Structure 1
Amino acid sequence: MDLARELDARFSSVERIQEYIKTCGSEGPRNVKEAQIPEGWPQSGSINFQNYTMRYRENTPIVLKGLQIHIKAGEKIGIVGRTGSGKSSLGVALFRLVEPAFGSILIDGVDIRHIGLHDLRSRLSIIPQDPVLFLGSVRYNLDPFDKHSEQELWLVLEKTYLKDLVSGLPEKLQAEVVRNGENFSVGQRQLMCMARALLRNTKIILLDEATASIDAETDALIQTTIREAFEGCTTLTIAHRINTVLQADRILVMEQGQVVEFDSPDVLRQKPDSLFSSLLAAANTINA
């Protein structure tokens, strides 16, 4: 029976690979020579969703429905909503992991549909929920393409409260990082991912529930880092803990793929019938 199960599993793998080869379409081109991309784009980091509609595959339900969103350059936006509301789909749209069914996204006036994927993604930063570290040194994890000086590395480590930790390691920047970064805590790994994003110096940063799996104390430290180190950047924070985005400039509340509220936290809290107020009340009840 064990042999039969193993044989079935192996043939399933072959079947899956064949399906990927035959049915999966390729992404857009990495670079588009004809694209008119201004030097240093994006200079400020404004984002405009213009009647943006998206589905993950053909013949599947629409997950983002005609979004009309204007995010100003340098704004700190908190994105909240119930499970399945479309929060993470906004990140998928921004990085063009899925192409739109209709509408467009403009970053500093440039329609991202008409530029290469490398040109787009290399100018954005994402800090995911599960921090990703690679086998190698601390320096390699911060600067894998060796583009920055040691002084720049120590500066971002200081801004992300990791300078004391790294300077205390025997080999400092050359200290070993084991597979998946398991010789660091989850919070330290997340801060290291932030240091990496900060070093890239992009104008737009997406945090996809980046503090969902860490304790409240480290969460508060990371929120301080976001406010101080990413000042001047447009920051989109998909929130798992709604209390972490109360200091945002504006809160974007999603429901069933649509924007139902988009205003400052104080304004939304003063509306007892707002969805944001009900989500906040539910979160406070759970915490209590």
Structure 2
Amino acid sequence: MLLLMLAISVAVFIMICVVFPVFLAPLVPLLGLYYFLQLFYRASTRELKRIESITRSPLLAHFTETLNGLATIRAYRVEARFARDNRRLMDATNRSYYLIFAVQRWLGTNASTLTNVLTFLVSLVIISYRATTDPGIAGLIMSYLLQVIAMLNLTIRYASELEVNMNAVERLQYYAEELEQEAPAVIEKTRPDKQWPATGSIEIDQLHLAYRKGLPDVLHGISASIRGGEKIGIVGRTGAGKSSIMVALFRLVEASKGSIAIDGVDIASIGLADLRSRMSIIPQDPTLFHGTVRSNLDPFGHHDDHALWDALERAGMKEYVAGLPAGLDAEITEGGENLSAGQRQLVCLARAMLVNARIIVMDEATASVDMRTDALLQKAIREDFAGCTILTIAHRLNTVIDYDRIMVLDAGEIREFDSPRRLLENTDGIFHSMVAETGPANAAYLASLVR
């Protein structure tokens, strides 16, 4: 549309100049004024549109969060506060939106003024040359002039809107070319064997990790040796760096220094798909997608129904799924909202069992589940994951007190790493103080569980 309007305007101006060359006298200065007019309009509209895009994002995010947390908002009776925040964000967005329309009206008013001036000047010129100008030519000039001026106004509007809408292209280009990309999914030259990892041993050597360039490290040169089949509990206070070890192990963020080797293979040298497909994780917040029980258990269709039912039975979910009308094809809503928190965690447990990985990471998986689900998770660790290397990030010391070794983190460093018995014997240690803080009765109970 922009090119069409521009082509028609140029063609008409050329036609008028050919039949009435004096038309150039008022046209050239007024086109210069049009040029400066559109410069002001484009600059203002571009920035206002950018501000409108920036202020719209918090509004949409707040609206989405409100919908997702509607039950909690009503439970705490804070509807008025969320409505007030929504109005405030909407007002912030509408300020720039209103100014965009105001600038458009400004352009329309000034363009119409220039249009009227050009029409008036051309009329005076035609009257001045009435003795030598054919009336038919004069009528043709005025007729086309009135049409082309309207098209010229639209040309300025379309050109400005095109530039403003290029903000979206600018953002797409930023996301496509300027954001740091993940490592390749597969590196053919360094692909590990299909049986890798055979034992599940992990060697961490002087590992440093920062979540972004310019930010301080969250892991400060930690080193540890984990034998295959060991059950390792990772404990520490909030912000100690427990989850950061999992982030580094799955290469969600690349290590800034140091290395992690699994069965002698540096994980930084292989593709992400090869690395992540050989490990399983049971997260604190179970992740389920809109689909069916089958698609959530086996997204890539690698297993038959028998394997799926077997995993559900071992996870304690077979009876529930079998009672659903569609069985494995029963619908699971986005985020698994039609399941309880414990059931979502058990589905994730069944999914981990299907992978049959040698390394299992549990990121505080028992932090928000009931005792029955906790018992099923502990049973899976003792029986189904027997022989696997298990890394459990936990706040409940009861969960990891009977593990082979406990890694105690503090401020991104490994302060203690030994068996629970030896750690408890060190009365000046961090782990001993953490156990004591649970209370005398529970501390005595934990001491009785130590192997």
TM over 0.5: yes
Corresponding residue for residue 289 of structure 2? 134
Corresponding residue for residue 274 of structure 1? 429
Corresponding residue for residue 305 of structure 2? 150
Report the structure, 1 or 2, having the larger strand content.
Answer: 1
Corresponding residue for residue 213 of structure 1? 368
Corresponding residue for residue 6 of structure 1? 93
| Number of residue equivalences | 287
Q: Highest Rg: 1 or 2?
A: 2
Q: The residue matched to 1:192 in structure 2 has which SS?
A: helix
Partner residue of 1:65 out of 220, 228, 241: 220
Q: Could you tell which deviates more after superposition, 267-276 or 33-42?
A: 33-42
Whole-angstrom CA distance in 2 between matches of 1:245 and 1:40: 29
Corresponding residue for residue 119 of structure 2? none
Corresponding residue for residue 154 of structure 2? none
Q: What are the ranges of 5 or more consecutive residues in structure 2 without an aligned counterpart?
A: 1-87, 98-163, 444-451
Q: Could you tell which deviates more after superposition, 164-173 or 241-250?
A: 164-173
Q: Check whether the contact 1:243–1:280 (CA below 8 A) recurs between aligned residues.
A: no
Tell whether 2:233 aligns with 1:78: yes
Map of 1:38-49 to 2, 5 A cutoff?
Answer: 38-49=193-204
State the shift of 1:153 in Å: 1.1
- Could you report, residue by residue, the CA deviation over 1:158-215 in whole angstroms, capped at 9, with x for unpaired residues? 1111122222222222222122212211111101101001101111111111111122
Whole-angstrom CA distance in 1 between matches of 2:259 and 2:270: 12
- Could you report, residue by residue, the CA deviation over 1:57-88 in whole angstroms, capped at 9, with x for unpaired residues? 22221111111111111111110001111100
Q: Could you tell which deviates more after superposition, 17-26 or 179-188?
A: 17-26
RMSD of aligned alpha carbons: 2.6
Whole-angstrom CA distance in 2 between matches of 1:174 and 1:104: 42
Q: The residue matched to 2:189 in structure 1 has which SS?
A: coil
- The higher-RCO structure (CA 8 Å, 6+ apart) is 1
Q: The residue matched to 1:235 in structure 2 has which SS?
A: strand
* Letter aligned with residue 297 of structure 2: L
Whole-angstrom CA distance in 2 between matches of 1:124 and 1:7: 48
Q: Check whether the contact 1:211–1:219 (CA below 8 A) recurs between aligned residues.
A: yes
Q: What are the ranges of 5 or more consecutive residues in structure 1 without an aligned counterpart?
A: none
Partner residue of 2:243 out of 80, 85, 88: 88
- What's the TM-score, normalizing by structure 1? 0.91
State the shift of 1:104 in Å: 0.7
Corresponding residue for residue 129 of structure 2? none
Corresponding residue for residue 26 of structure 1? 181
Map of 1:81-230 to 2, 5 A cutoff?
Answer: 81-230=236-385
Q: Could you tell which deviates more after superposition, 81-90 or 143-152?
A: 143-152
State the shift of 1:127 in Å: 1.3
Q: The residue matched to 1:118 in structure 2 has which SS?
A: helix
* Letter aligned with residue 318 of structure 2: K
Whole-angstrom CA distance in 2 between matches of 1:9 and 1:182: 37
Whole-angstrom CA distance in 2 between matches of 1:272 and 1:124: 36
Whole-angstrom CA distance in 1 between matches of 2:175 and 2:96: 17
Whole-angstrom CA distance in 2 between matches of 1:28 and 1:220: 38
State the shift of 1:6 in Å: 2.6
Q: Could you tell which deviates more after superposition, 54-63 or 76-85?
A: 54-63
Q: Check whether the contact 2:191–2:274 (CA below 8 A) recurs between aligned residues.
A: no
Report the structure, 1 or 2, having the larger helix content.
Answer: 2
Tell whether 2:190 aligns with 1:35: yes
Partner residue of 2:207 out of 41, 44, 52: 52
Q: The residue matched to 1:283 in structure 2 has which SS?
A: coil
Corresponding residue for residue 258 of structure 1? 413
Q: The residue matched to 1:228 in structure 2 has which SS?
A: helix
Identity value in percent: 52
Whole-angstrom CA distance in 1 between matches of 2:432 and 2:183: 40
Whole-angstrom CA distance in 2 between matches of 1:7 and 1:120: 47
